[in-house]
Each structure stands twice: as structure tokens, then as C-alpha cells.
Amino acid sequence: MKEAKKCVYELSKKFVAKEDIFKNNINIYLAPNRNEFEYLILNILKINVKMPTNKGRIAQPQRADLILLCPSAYDTDSIYKYNFDDYKRLLTHEMVHMFHEHLSVDMENIARWFSEGIAIYLSKQNEYEDEFKRPVIDGVLDNKIPTIEDINNDIMLSYDWGWCIVKYIDETYGFDTVLNIARNCGSNDVIGFISNDKEGFEKNWRHWLLNTCKIVG
């Protein structure tokens, strides 16, 4: 809980949120097993998810509520091994979604790669966790970088590649631009929202990616 509070405080600063977004109240539910996890998603969040849920799914945020699978159930009910640092990053990731949902003009229609990308990037999962950084590094080394169009149209690619487009926007245009997208872009066409030259953006992004990953990889 202490970590959750710290997380909200830090993200409030990051998002330059003047309003007290959650009125000092975020509800975190820890489900002791997958059944309970699904029950809470259905009955507290009223979200219809496909049952049984995938074992890779361990968190579900909505507005001021966050349902988490308790780490004590990880061994039997998830594909993950519990690790405190990973868990803190997961918490940050989910809370980024909550802030974003609150601030965004249209969370439903914004490109998936942006919403996942900003959550992965701000929680630094891409720096520490292979699951997030490997696809990009491998893709660059194998010279298999998808087009932004492909990423836009594919959920898996959105998770794998979104963070490095957000990182590129942050490093090139500044974090204000990332915030501007988070708040004001309500469409799938995030690149068109910030640039009149989408081809040029893509070319520069690829160039940046090739140079950056050579160093990292």
C-alpha cells in the first residue's frame, strides 16, 4: 500500500495533474486466486472478459479501481514468478492506465500502442524486464522492424513496440508532447496528431531505433 501511494504521488507529478484526480481514493483489490480475480472484474468493474482469463493476465484497472491477482497465487494461477521490483513496476503500469483513462478525451479510440507504450515506458518495464525489451532488441538485430501502420493494427505488436515509439516521441519532441497526446488525442492516428509528415516521422523513428538499439543490444 505504501508503494501504491508513492506511485500515485509520483505519477501525479509526471502527468502534471492539477486536479486531485482520484479524490485521494484508489481502491485496490487483491484477489487470492484466479476465480476471485475474475469474479471481481465481473462484479466490481462490470467488465465482461472472456472466461477463463488468460494466465498472463494479472491486473485489471478501471477508473479508480484496480483488481490485482495476489502474488501468493502466481505459482498456480499465472505465468509469472513474483518479484518485488517487477511488482512495483506492474503497479505503476496499471496506474498509468488509470491516470490516462481519467485525463484522456477518448481512451477507447486512442491507439493501443500509445496507451500500452506510455504505461510500459513510464513504469520502466522496458528497461528492466526482458519480456518488454527483448522483442524490440531482437527485431532490430534481425532487421525486422514493423511499420507503424502494422503496429497500429496489431495488439501484440502494440505491446511489443509501443514503448519505443513513446520513448522516441519523448526524446525528440519532449514529454509535453507525450502529455498532449495522452490528454488530447482521441484517435488511432497518434502520429498524424503530432506531425504533418508521417513518412518523415517513421523514417526518423527507424533511424533512431537502429542507432539506439545497437548500443543497448
Residues binding Zn ion (CB under 5 A): 116, 119
Choose between 119 and 151: whose C-beta lies nearer to Zn ion: 119
Other C-beta atoms lying within 10 Å of the C-beta of residue 9: 10
- Residue in the shown chain whose Cβ atom is closest to Zn ion: 119
The 3-state DSSP class for residue 154 equals coil
Nearer to Zn ion, 119 or 178 (CB): 119
- Burial classification of residue 151, based on how many CB atoms lie within 10 Å of its CB (0-12 exposed, 13-18 middle, 19 or more buried): buried
The least CB distance from residue 151 to Zn ion, in Å, is 15
Residue 91 or 201 having the CB closest to Zn ion: 91
End-to-end CA separation in angstroms for the chain? 36
State the nearest-atom distance from the C-beta of 72 to Zn ion, in Å.
Answer: 22
Smallest separation, CB 161 to Zn ion (Å): 14
Min. distance of Cβ 81 from Zn ion in angstroms? Answer: 19
Considering the complex, state which of residue 118 and residue 185 has its C-beta at the smaller distance from Zn ion: 118
Q: Tell me whether residue 97 or residue 201 sits nearer to Zn ion (CB atom).
A: 97
In 3-state terms, what secondary structure has residue 27?
strand
Rounded to 5°, angle at Cα 170 from 166 and 173: 120
When computed from its CA atoms, the radius of gyration of the chain, rounded to whole angstroms, is 17
Residue appearing with cell numbers 498509468 = 96
> Cis bond leading into 52, ω under 30°?
yes
Q: How far is the CB of 133 from Zn ion (least distance, A)?
A: 16
Place of cell 528497461: 127
